[in-house]
């Protein structure tokens, strides 16, 4: 029974984490139209920086090498991870957002992710290269000393609170004048500029805020798993986050929640129970990607707006009579 509870709690934790990742991508793409094809890189940077902030200094003779090692409490490590992801988003935005749009912007983000992946993986002095960080301290567990299943339930509550706070903040941003200006930029950049909006500033803010959200998801990931390596933040993970947002509904935070459940939890887990083939152990992960890809294709074909589409304001149309009478009234006044 305890194993089942721990398994369900773990699914709930990953559900919360993918919610945060999807909402962060939604702020970038759904609000401001930024094609971020390296969203998972921000997750990795947030997780890595929180990990080295939580870990102690390197021990003599240890086979794990990393920078910093500050032994900071978890709230400070969370801030460091989120800030690092935001700064990376700002750096990429400074390069890409001012002059590049659409496909070219996507290519730049993809190239930046590849550069960071190679830099982190091939340099063992930063985050221990392709071996990655292990043994990252878990919040609360050092004091409470819980068993794995009990700690999973505790961490699920913690992750759910963080997700709820970020979800409310994202909705408030969406309904604010700033959020409406971001969506206007997404719909038509030239028109927004014609109305005096600083579209570069708006897109930069969306890029940074979305990166911070994704960085928080990375912090929760490394805290629960206690490890992170480049193999865990490859292109396929970015594909899962994008699939969750597309299936749920671009521009809708509620859709991001639904998409995270359908793609990151339901499809990811159901395919794990497929019978394995000893001659080809990599077949099941490939089948998983095929299933998720098929779901995205079917969604784009039959319901391109997603399961829970973005709600847009509707304004009542003026009666035809009043429209026809208006020129006469103007002429009369003249």
Is pLDDT above 50 for 177? yes
Tens digit of pLDDT for each residue in 222-235? Answer: 999 999 999 888 88
Predicted confidence at residue 318, as pLDDT, reads 52
CATH number of 69's domain: 1.10.3470
Residue with tokens 């359908």: 262
Contact 138, 74 (CB under 8 A): no
pTM of the entire structure? 0.89
Give the chain's domain count. 1
Averaged pLDDT score across all residues of the chain: 85
CA distances from 327 to 43, 149, 315, 319, 322 (A): 57, 73, 22, 14, 9
Residue 108 domain boundaries: 2-333
- For the chain, report the end-to-end CA distance as a whole number of angstroms: 83
- pLDDT tens across 218-268, in order? 999 999 999 999 988 888 888 899 999 999 999 889 999 999 998 888 877
Q: Are 70 and 53 in contact (CB under 8 A)?
A: yes
What does the alpha-carbon distance between residue 220 and residue 141 come to, in Å, rounded to a whole number? 14
**C-beta separation of 36 from 47 below 8 A:** no
In the chain, where does DSSP find H-type helix?
2-25, 32, 39-54, 74-96, 102-122, 124-127, 141-144, 148-175, 177-187, 189-194, 199-225, 235-248, 253-259, 268-270, 283-302, 320-333
Q: What is the model's pLDDT at position 6?
A: 83
| Mean pLDDT confidence for 284-292 | 79
Count of CA atoms in the C-beta half-sphere (13 A) of 130 = 4
């Amino acid at each position: 029974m305890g194993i089942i509870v721990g398994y369900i709690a773990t699914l709930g934790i990953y559900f919360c984490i993918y919610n945060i990742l999807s909402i962060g991508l939604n702020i970038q793409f759904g609000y401001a139209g930024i094609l971020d094809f390296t969203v998972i890189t921000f997750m990795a940077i947030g997780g890595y920086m929180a990990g080295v902030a939580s870990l102690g200094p390197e021990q003599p003779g240890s086979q794990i090498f990393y920078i910093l090692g500050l032994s900071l409490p978890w709230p400070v490590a969370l801030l460091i991870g989120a800030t690092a992801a935001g700064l990376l988003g700002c750096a990429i935005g400074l390069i890409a957002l001012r002059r590049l749009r659409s496909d070219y912007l996507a290519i730049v983000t993809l190239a930046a992710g590849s550069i960071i992946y190679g830099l982190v993986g091939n340099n063992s002095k930063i985050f221990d290269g392709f071996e990655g960080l292990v043994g990252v301290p878990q919040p609360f567990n050092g004091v409470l000393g819980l068993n794995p299943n009990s700690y999973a339930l505790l961490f699920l509550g913690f992750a759910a609170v963080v997700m709820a706070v970020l979800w409310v903040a994202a909705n408030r941003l969406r309904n604010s004048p700033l959020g409406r200006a971001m969506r206007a930029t997404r719909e038509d950049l030239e028109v927004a500029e014609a109305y005096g909006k600083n579209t570069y500033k708006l897109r930069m803010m969306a890029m940074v805020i979305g990166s911070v959200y994704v960085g928080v998801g990375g912090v929760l990931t490394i805290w629960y798993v206690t490890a992170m390596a480049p193999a865990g933040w490859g292109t396929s993970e970015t594909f899962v986050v994008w699939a969750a947002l597309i299936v749920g509904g671009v521009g809708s935070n509620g859709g991001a929640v639904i998409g995270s459940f359908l793609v990151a939890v339901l499809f990811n887990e159901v395919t794990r129970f497929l019978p394995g083939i000893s001659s080809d152990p990599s077949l099941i992960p490939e089948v998983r990607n095929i299933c998720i890809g098929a779901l995205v294709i079917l969604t784009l074909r039959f319901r391109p707006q997603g399961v829970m589409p973005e709600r847009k304001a509707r304004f009542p149309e003026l009666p035809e009579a009043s429209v026809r009478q208006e020129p006469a009234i103007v002429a009369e006044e003249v």
